[in-house]
Amino acid sequence: MCDLQSRIEELEEEFQLLDPRERLELLLDYAARLPELPEEFRDAADRELHRVPECQTPVFLWLTFDDGAVLHAEVAPEAPTVQGFVSLLRELIAGCSPEQVAQIPQDLLHRVGLVEALGMVRSRGLHAILHRVRAMAGQQQSAAAKSQS
């Protein structure tokens, strides 16, 4: 099982050592590592339900828990900041349980100094992505609880 808490602490350390400009460069590295959306999700009939509507650029997210959390994403290529943050979240939660993912701190963007680097208006869209990932994990959790009872 993943140790999300210490991963978050490492992430905070990694970003807080950098100045805002360097934090954006680091986000660009994350963006480059975001894998393509697997084929099985590409033409999903319920695709629109996976859109994050607060983002001005198209963002679609899927969260599976076959063997711990895997975040699958399709982000418009003209939105490297969003790609970077989604990729960061993907690496952060890889292999974690729904309970853990639902508990990612809501102030993650502040903790890693990205609000400072990006500004408030842009951060809002990224907050929405975080909110969505937490909510998707929460749904998994309650679905699992229902099937057990």
Partner 1 sequence: MAEYAHPEVLVDVEWVLEHRKEVDRIRIVESDEDVLLYDMGHIPEAVKVDWQTDLQHPVIRDYIDKEAFARLCEERGISDDTTVVFYGDKNNWWACYAFWAFKMYRHADCRIMNGGRQKWLNQNLPVEKAVPQYPRGRYRPRDRDLSIRAFRDQVLEHLERGGKLIDVRTKGEYTGELLHMPDYPQEGALRGGHIPGALHIPWQVAIRDDGTFKSREELEEIYIGQHGLSPDDDIIVYCRIGERSSLTWFVLTYLLGFKRVRNYDGSWTEWGNLVGVPIEKGEASS
Sign of the Cα torsion 81, 30, 105, 99 reads: positive
Q: Interface with partner 1 includes 117 (CB under 8 A)?
A: yes
Enter the tokens of residue 62. 């899927």
From 9, 13, 25, 107, residue interacting with partner 1 (rule: CB under 8 A): 25
| Cβ at position 78, least distance to partner 1 in Å | 5
DSSP state of 56: S
| Cβ at position 15, least distance to partner 1 in Å | 15
Q: Interface with partner 1 includes 20 (CB under 8 A)?
A: yes
| Cβ at position 88, least distance to partner 1 in Å | 13
DSSP 107-137: THHHHTTHHHHH-HHHHHHHHHHHHHHHHHH
Q: Interface with partner 1 includes 33 (CB under 8 A)?
A: no
Alpha carbon distance 107, 113 (integer Å): 10
The enclosing H or E element of 98 equals helix 98-102
From 13, 47, 53, 145, residue interacting with partner 1 (rule: CB under 8 A): 53
- Chain positions contacting partner 1, by CB under 8 A: 20, 24-25, 27-28, 31, 53-54, 56-57, 78-82, 84, 117-119, 121-122, 124, 127-128, 131, 135
